[in-house]
Amino acid sequence: MKIREIWAKSILSKSQIYAYAVNPYVGCSHACRYCYAAFMKRFTGHKERWGEFLDVKINAPELLAREIARRRTGRVWVSGVCDPYQPLERKYKLTRRCLEILMENGWPMTVQTKSPLVLRDIEILVKSRDAEVGFTITTAEERIRRLFEPSAPPIPERLGALEVLHSRGIKTFAMIAPMLPGAAGLVGALAGKVDHVLVDRLNYHYADRIYRENGMEWAKEEPFFLQEAEELKKGFEGQGIAVQVLF
Protein backbone atom coordinates (compact mmCIF):
# COMPACT_ATOMS: atom_id res chain seq x y z
CA MET A 1 0.00 0.00 0.00
CA LYS A 2 1.54 3.29 -1.07
CA ILE A 3 0.55 6.08 1.31
CA ARG A 4 1.31 9.77 0.68
CA GLU A 5 0.42 12.82 2.69
CA ILE A 6 -0.60 15.61 0.34
CA TRP A 7 -1.75 19.22 0.52
CA ALA A 8 -5.01 19.54 -1.37
CA LYS A 9 -5.97 22.75 -3.18
CA SER A 10 -9.69 22.47 -2.35
CA ILE A 11 -12.00 20.05 -0.54
CA LEU A 12 -15.66 21.03 -0.96
CA SER A 13 -16.63 19.85 -4.42
CA LYS A 14 -19.94 20.07 -6.28
CA SER A 15 -21.84 16.78 -6.33
CA GLN A 16 -24.55 15.39 -8.58
CA ILE A 17 -26.05 13.41 -5.71
CA TYR A 18 -26.06 16.06 -2.95
CA ALA A 19 -25.09 19.72 -3.03
CA TYR A 20 -21.46 19.02 -2.15
CA ALA A 21 -19.03 16.20 -1.48
CA VAL A 22 -15.99 16.06 0.78
CA ASN A 23 -13.34 13.38 0.14
CA PRO A 24 -10.51 13.56 2.69
CA TYR A 25 -8.62 10.77 0.89
CA VAL A 26 -7.78 9.89 -2.70
CA GLY A 27 -8.11 6.12 -3.05
CA CYS A 28 -9.69 3.55 -0.78
CA SER A 29 -7.99 0.69 0.99
CA HIS A 30 -11.27 -1.23 1.19
CA ALA A 31 -10.45 -2.14 -2.42
CA CYS A 32 -13.90 -3.42 -3.40
CA ARG A 33 -13.62 -5.30 -6.68
CA TYR A 34 -16.60 -3.54 -8.29
CA CYS A 35 -15.70 -0.04 -7.06
CA TYR A 36 -16.87 2.66 -9.46
CA ALA A 37 -14.42 5.12 -7.87
CA ALA A 38 -11.56 3.27 -9.56
CA PHE A 39 -12.13 5.71 -12.46
CA MET A 40 -10.34 8.28 -10.27
CA LYS A 41 -6.99 6.82 -11.31
CA ARG A 42 -7.44 8.34 -14.74
CA PHE A 43 -7.34 11.81 -13.21
CA THR A 44 -4.84 11.35 -10.41
CA GLY A 45 -2.11 9.57 -12.37
CA HIS A 46 -1.72 6.66 -9.92
CA LYS A 47 -0.09 3.61 -11.49
CA GLU A 48 -0.89 1.24 -8.58
CA ARG A 49 -3.99 -0.95 -8.62
CA TRP A 50 -7.16 0.47 -7.03
CA GLY A 51 -6.95 -0.20 -3.29
CA GLU A 52 -3.13 -0.14 -3.27
CA PHE A 53 -2.58 3.60 -2.95
CA LEU A 54 -3.89 6.28 -0.66
CA ASP A 55 -3.32 10.02 -0.72
CA VAL A 56 -4.13 11.63 2.61
CA LYS A 57 -5.30 15.23 2.29
CA ILE A 58 -3.79 16.40 5.54
CA ASN A 59 -5.11 19.96 5.19
CA ALA A 60 -8.74 18.85 4.52
CA PRO A 61 -10.24 20.29 7.76
CA GLU A 62 -8.53 23.67 7.38
CA LEU A 63 -9.66 23.91 3.76
CA LEU A 64 -13.22 22.94 4.69
CA ALA A 65 -13.46 25.57 7.42
CA ARG A 66 -12.33 28.21 4.93
CA GLU A 67 -14.49 27.03 2.04
CA ILE A 68 -17.83 26.68 3.86
CA ALA A 69 -17.48 30.27 5.06
CA ARG A 70 -17.67 31.33 1.40
CA ARG A 71 -20.36 28.91 0.14
CA ARG A 72 -24.12 28.68 0.42
CA THR A 73 -25.20 26.03 2.98
CA GLY A 74 -26.05 22.67 1.40
CA ARG A 75 -25.97 18.96 2.20
CA VAL A 76 -22.47 17.48 2.17
CA TRP A 77 -21.82 13.90 1.11
CA VAL A 78 -19.00 12.35 3.07
CA SER A 79 -17.56 10.97 0.92
CA GLY A 80 -18.50 9.70 -2.55
CA VAL A 81 -15.24 8.46 -4.10
CA CYS A 82 -13.55 7.04 -1.01
CA ASP A 83 -14.69 5.50 2.26
CA PRO A 84 -14.34 8.27 4.88
CA TYR A 85 -13.80 5.63 7.58
CA GLN A 86 -11.21 3.44 5.90
CA PRO A 87 -8.60 2.15 8.37
CA LEU A 88 -6.14 5.07 8.23
CA GLU A 89 -8.89 7.45 9.37
CA ARG A 90 -8.27 5.97 12.82
CA LYS A 91 -4.85 7.64 12.73
CA TYR A 92 -5.50 10.83 10.72
CA LYS A 93 -8.97 11.79 12.05
CA LEU A 94 -9.59 13.94 8.96
CA THR A 95 -13.19 12.81 8.56
CA ARG A 96 -13.78 13.40 12.24
CA ARG A 97 -12.47 16.97 12.05
CA CYS A 98 -14.50 17.67 8.90
CA LEU A 99 -17.68 16.42 10.61
CA GLU A 100 -16.95 18.65 13.60
CA ILE A 101 -16.69 21.68 11.31
CA LEU A 102 -19.94 20.82 9.52
CA MET A 103 -21.70 20.21 12.84
CA GLU A 104 -20.46 23.45 14.40
CA ASN A 105 -21.65 25.41 11.36
CA GLY A 106 -25.04 23.66 11.19
CA TRP A 107 -24.46 22.16 7.75
CA PRO A 108 -26.49 19.02 6.86
CA MET A 109 -24.42 15.93 6.13
CA THR A 110 -24.81 12.43 4.75
CA VAL A 111 -22.04 10.06 5.79
CA GLN A 112 -21.67 6.90 3.73
CA THR A 113 -19.35 4.10 4.74
CA LYS A 114 -18.79 0.40 5.17
CA SER A 115 -16.96 0.76 8.47
CA PRO A 116 -18.09 0.67 12.10
CA LEU A 117 -15.29 3.18 12.80
CA VAL A 118 -18.01 5.80 12.27
CA LEU A 119 -19.17 4.94 15.80
CA ARG A 120 -16.07 6.68 17.14
CA ASP A 121 -17.69 9.96 16.02
CA ILE A 122 -21.21 9.23 17.16
CA GLU A 123 -21.32 12.18 19.58
CA ILE A 124 -20.63 14.62 16.73
CA LEU A 125 -23.41 13.05 14.69
CA VAL A 126 -25.84 13.18 17.61
CA LYS A 127 -25.12 16.89 18.07
CA SER A 128 -25.56 17.69 14.36
CA ARG A 129 -28.64 19.57 13.27
CA ASP A 130 -29.22 17.23 10.32
CA ALA A 131 -26.96 14.20 9.96
CA GLU A 132 -27.69 10.84 8.41
CA VAL A 133 -25.48 7.79 8.08
CA GLY A 134 -25.71 5.20 5.34
CA PHE A 135 -24.00 1.84 5.21
CA THR A 136 -23.32 0.19 1.90
CA ILE A 137 -24.21 -3.49 2.25
CA THR A 138 -24.37 -5.49 -0.96
CA THR A 139 -25.22 -8.99 0.29
CA ALA A 140 -26.22 -10.75 3.49
CA GLU A 141 -23.70 -13.54 2.85
CA GLU A 142 -20.16 -13.23 4.18
CA ARG A 143 -18.90 -15.74 1.60
CA ILE A 144 -20.00 -13.40 -1.20
CA ARG A 145 -18.78 -10.30 0.66
CA ARG A 146 -15.28 -11.81 0.93
CA LEU A 147 -15.14 -12.33 -2.85
CA PHE A 148 -16.12 -8.79 -3.77
CA GLU A 149 -15.10 -6.72 -0.74
CA PRO A 150 -12.17 -8.65 0.74
CA SER A 151 -10.71 -5.72 2.66
CA ALA A 152 -13.94 -4.11 3.88
CA PRO A 153 -15.46 -4.79 7.33
CA PRO A 154 -17.65 -7.91 7.69
CA ILE A 155 -21.41 -7.51 7.28
CA PRO A 156 -22.32 -8.30 10.92
CA GLU A 157 -20.11 -5.35 12.00
CA ARG A 158 -21.91 -3.00 9.61
CA LEU A 159 -25.31 -4.20 10.81
CA GLY A 160 -24.22 -3.76 14.42
CA ALA A 161 -23.08 -0.19 13.76
CA LEU A 162 -26.36 0.68 12.03
CA GLU A 163 -28.25 -0.64 15.03
CA VAL A 164 -26.26 1.54 17.44
CA LEU A 165 -26.63 4.68 15.30
CA HIS A 166 -30.36 4.10 14.85
CA SER A 167 -30.87 3.52 18.55
CA ARG A 168 -29.20 6.90 19.24
CA GLY A 169 -31.79 8.64 17.06
CA ILE A 170 -29.50 9.22 14.06
CA LYS A 171 -31.22 8.81 10.71
CA THR A 172 -29.83 5.71 9.00
CA PHE A 173 -30.10 4.07 5.61
CA ALA A 174 -28.71 1.11 3.74
CA MET A 175 -27.36 1.36 0.21
CA ILE A 176 -27.75 -2.08 -1.36
CA ALA A 177 -25.64 -1.38 -4.41
CA PRO A 178 -24.52 -3.18 -6.38
CA MET A 179 -26.92 -5.98 -5.47
CA LEU A 180 -24.89 -9.19 -5.16
CA PRO A 181 -26.15 -12.74 -4.74
CA GLY A 182 -27.65 -13.09 -1.27
CA ALA A 183 -28.88 -9.48 -1.09
CA ALA A 184 -32.44 -10.63 -0.42
CA GLY A 185 -31.34 -11.83 3.03
CA LEU A 186 -30.84 -8.21 4.03
CA VAL A 187 -34.58 -7.70 4.47
CA GLY A 188 -34.54 -9.52 7.79
CA ALA A 189 -31.04 -8.37 8.76
CA LEU A 190 -31.82 -4.66 8.41
CA ALA A 191 -35.20 -4.72 10.13
CA GLY A 192 -35.38 -2.08 12.86
CA LYS A 193 -31.96 -0.62 11.95
CA VAL A 194 -32.70 1.73 9.04
CA ASP A 195 -35.14 4.47 8.09
CA HIS A 196 -34.91 3.82 4.37
CA VAL A 197 -33.17 1.69 1.78
CA LEU A 198 -31.70 2.41 -1.65
CA VAL A 199 -31.22 -0.36 -4.19
CA ASP A 200 -29.19 -0.37 -7.39
CA ARG A 201 -27.81 -2.81 -9.93
CA LEU A 202 -24.22 -3.24 -11.01
CA ASN A 203 -23.38 -0.45 -13.43
CA TYR A 204 -19.68 -1.02 -14.12
CA HIS A 205 -17.45 -3.84 -15.33
CA TYR A 206 -14.53 -3.70 -12.90
CA ALA A 207 -15.55 -6.99 -11.21
CA ASP A 208 -16.20 -9.03 -14.38
CA ARG A 209 -13.30 -11.35 -13.60
CA ILE A 210 -14.67 -12.18 -10.12
CA TYR A 211 -18.06 -13.07 -11.56
CA ARG A 212 -16.45 -15.20 -14.28
CA GLU A 213 -14.02 -17.06 -12.03
CA ASN A 214 -16.75 -17.90 -9.56
CA GLY A 215 -19.34 -19.02 -12.10
CA MET A 216 -21.66 -16.17 -11.18
CA GLU A 217 -22.15 -14.41 -14.48
CA TRP A 218 -25.92 -14.88 -14.12
CA ALA A 219 -25.70 -12.41 -11.22
CA LYS A 220 -24.76 -9.52 -13.46
CA GLU A 221 -27.67 -10.01 -15.86
CA GLU A 222 -30.92 -8.08 -16.04
CA PRO A 223 -33.26 -10.89 -14.80
CA PHE A 224 -31.25 -11.25 -11.56
CA PHE A 225 -31.38 -7.52 -10.80
CA LEU A 226 -35.08 -7.24 -11.58
CA GLN A 227 -36.00 -10.23 -9.44
CA GLU A 228 -33.73 -9.26 -6.54
CA ALA A 229 -35.00 -5.65 -6.56
CA GLU A 230 -38.60 -6.83 -6.58
CA GLU A 231 -37.97 -9.15 -3.64
CA LEU A 232 -36.19 -6.42 -1.66
CA LYS A 233 -38.91 -3.89 -2.39
CA LYS A 234 -41.67 -6.22 -1.27
CA GLY A 235 -39.78 -7.31 1.81
CA PHE A 236 -38.86 -3.82 3.07
CA GLU A 237 -42.24 -2.31 2.25
CA GLY A 238 -43.80 -5.17 4.20
CA GLN A 239 -41.87 -3.86 7.21
CA GLY A 240 -42.92 -0.27 6.58
CA ILE A 241 -39.41 0.73 5.41
CA ALA A 242 -39.30 3.04 2.37
CA VAL A 243 -37.35 1.63 -0.58
CA GLN A 244 -36.06 3.45 -3.61
CA VAL A 245 -34.98 1.37 -6.58
CA LEU A 246 -32.51 3.44 -8.60
CA PHE A 247 -32.75 1.72 -11.98
Q: Label the pairing between strands 25-26 and 53-57.
A: antiparallel
Size of the site for ligand SF4 (CB under 6 A): 10
CA distance 42 to 139: 29
Q: How many CB atoms lie within 10 A of CB 226?
A: 13
Return the SS3 of 65.
helix
* Residue number with CB closer to ligand SF4 (35 or 76): 35
Near ligand SF4 by CB under 6 A, which window of 31-39, 55-63, 121-129, 160-168? 31-39
User: Rounded to the nearest whole angstrom, what is the least distance from the CB of residue 38 to ligand SF4 in the complex?
Assistant: 7
User: Rounded to the nearest whole angstrom, what is the least distance from the CB of residue 30 to ligand SF4 in the complex?
Assistant: 4
82 touches ligand SF4 by CB under 6 A: yes
The H or E element that residue 109 is part of is strand 109-113
31 touches ligand SF4 by CB under 6 A: yes
* Residue number with CB closer to ligand SF4 (68 or 149): 149
Phi, psi for 200 (deg, rounded to 5): -145, 160
Which residues, in sequence order, are bridge partners of residue 175?
Answer: 136, 198
* Residue number with CB closer to ligand SF4 (35 or 68): 35
Q: How many CB atoms lie within 10 A of CB 231?
A: 14
Residues in the chain: 247
CA angle, residues 133, 167, 143, in degrees to nearest 5: 65
Near ligand SF4 by CB under 6 A, which window of 3-11, 12-20, 32-40, 98-106? 32-40
32 touches ligand SF4 by CB under 6 A: yes
28 touches ligand SF4 by CB under 6 A: yes
CA distance 194 to 242: 9
The answer to whether 89 and 117 have CB atoms below 8 angstroms apart is yes
* Residue number with CB closer to ligand SF4 (30 or 201): 30
193 touches ligand SF4 by CB under 6 A: no
Near ligand SF4 by CB under 6 A, which window of 28-36, 140-148, 168-176, 194-202? 28-36
35 touches ligand SF4 by CB under 6 A: yes
The answer to whether 59 and 8 have CB atoms below 8 angstroms apart is yes
- Contacting residues toward ligand SF4, per CB under 6 A: 28, 30-32, 35, 37, 82-83, 114, 152
